[in-house]
């Protein structure tokens, strides 16, 4: 499979994982959902290690651990921003920063997409901004604290993508094992420090595990896409995942999409088409 195909599939599965994660957080504590879903994802990657091509190495585990730390900080700060600020500001700020970091890194380190692909990158950036916007959002003046949290959170998510890309190309899924061990440890320590329980609410365990398994499946697809293609293009396609979350919310839960979000979904499809045609 090509990097573009892998990255597009990754975005669809990432968005589906977020949909199930959102269902889980409606029923249970956020930190419990994060830890238990990531445990489910770790079980999947352990099962895949003997099957997928790749070699274990210290470098693979260390790059994976670093990416897991960045991702864990991203998650914690994202939820903090959502809790203290306007979601309509925090969500698109986080999403666009998370995409901008690997795009800039890729361009600085030598990625040279074609003009058509760069047009797709620009359209994708705009699409992420639109689909992440809450209906009726951006009303009022946002406070600085949540915006800073969103920017740092996005940098953490972007760092996760960059650090996984830096793992040895022949490492297979081994970096993801290091990433999961690191993120689970950090979030569990956070729960312990804040005295928050990790026991899932009744009826939430199954959907939490499904979210974690899908999230890890998406991570595997991202890792293989990043190993096969330019980070600048792969990161943009993966970052379009909110579009699939929105569509699932629309057709499964009956949630209404704003005209801005519908436009964003259309732009996301256009970005995929431009990058695939390049």
Could you read off the pLDDT tens digit of each residue along the chain, which spans 278 residues?
A: 588 899 999 999 988 988 888 788 777 777 788 888 889 999 999 999 988 888 889 999 999 999 999 988 887 787 677 656 665 567 677 778 888 898 889 889 988 888 888 898 888 888 887 887 766 554 555 566 777 878 888 899 899 999 999 999 889 889 999 999 998 998 888 888 888 777 877 877 888 899 889 989 999 999 999 988 899 899 889 888 888 887 888 888 887 878 888 888 888 888 888 887 76
On whether residue 37 sits in a domain, the answer given is yes
On whether residue 101 sits in a domain, the answer given is yes
On whether residue 154 sits in a domain, the answer given is yes
Q: How far apart are CA 168 and CA 175, in angstroms?
A: 9
Answer for the pair 221, 1: CB distance below 8 angstroms, yes or no: no
How far from chain centre, in Å, is Cα 184? Answer: 16
* Residue 207 burial (C-beta neighbours within 10 Å; 0-12, 13-18, 19+): buried
What pLDDT score was predicted for residue 174?
93
On whether residue 267 sits in a domain, the answer given is no
State which residues form the domain around 100: 3-113+141-229
Q: How far apart are CA 258 and CA 84, in angstroms?
A: 24
What pLDDT score was predicted for residue 221?
94
Question: Total structural domains in the chain?
Answer: 1
On whether residue 40 sits in a domain, the answer given is yes
pTM of the model: 0.85
């Amino acid at each position: 499979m090509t990097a573009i195909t892998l990255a597009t599939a990754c975005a669809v599965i990432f968005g589906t994982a977020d949909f199930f994660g959102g269902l889980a957080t409606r029923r249970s504590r956020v930190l419990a959902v994060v830890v238990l879903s990531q445990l489910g994802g770790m079980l999947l990657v352990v099962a895949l290690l003997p099957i997928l091509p790749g070699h274990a190495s210290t470098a693979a585990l260390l790059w994976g651990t670093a990416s897991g730390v960045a991702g864990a900080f991203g998650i914690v700060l994202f939820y903090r921003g959502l809790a203290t600020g306007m979601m309509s500001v925090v969500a698109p700020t986080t999403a666009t920063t998370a995409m901008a970091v690997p795009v800039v890194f890729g361009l600085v380190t030598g990625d040279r997409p074609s003009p058509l692909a760069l047009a797709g990158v620009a359209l994708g950036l705009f699409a992420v901004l639109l689909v992440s916007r809450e209906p009726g959002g951006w009303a009022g003046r946002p406070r600085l604290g949540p915006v800073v949290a969103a920017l740092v959170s996005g940098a953490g998510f972007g760092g996760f993508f960059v650090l996984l890309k830096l793992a040895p190309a022949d490492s297979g899924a081994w970096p993801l094992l290091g990433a999961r061990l690191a993120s689970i440890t950090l979030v569990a320590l956070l729960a312990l420090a804040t005295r928050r329980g990790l026991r899932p609410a009744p009826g939430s365990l199954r959907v939490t595990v499904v979210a974690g398994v899908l999230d890890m499946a998406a991570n595997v697809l991202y890792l293989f896409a990043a190993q096969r293609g330019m980070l600048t293009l792969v990161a943009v396609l993966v970052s379009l995942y909110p579009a699939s979350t929105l569509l699932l919310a629309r057709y499964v839960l009956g949630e209404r999409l704003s005209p801005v979000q519908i436009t964003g979904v259309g732009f996301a499809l256009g970005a995929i088409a431009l990058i695939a045609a390049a």
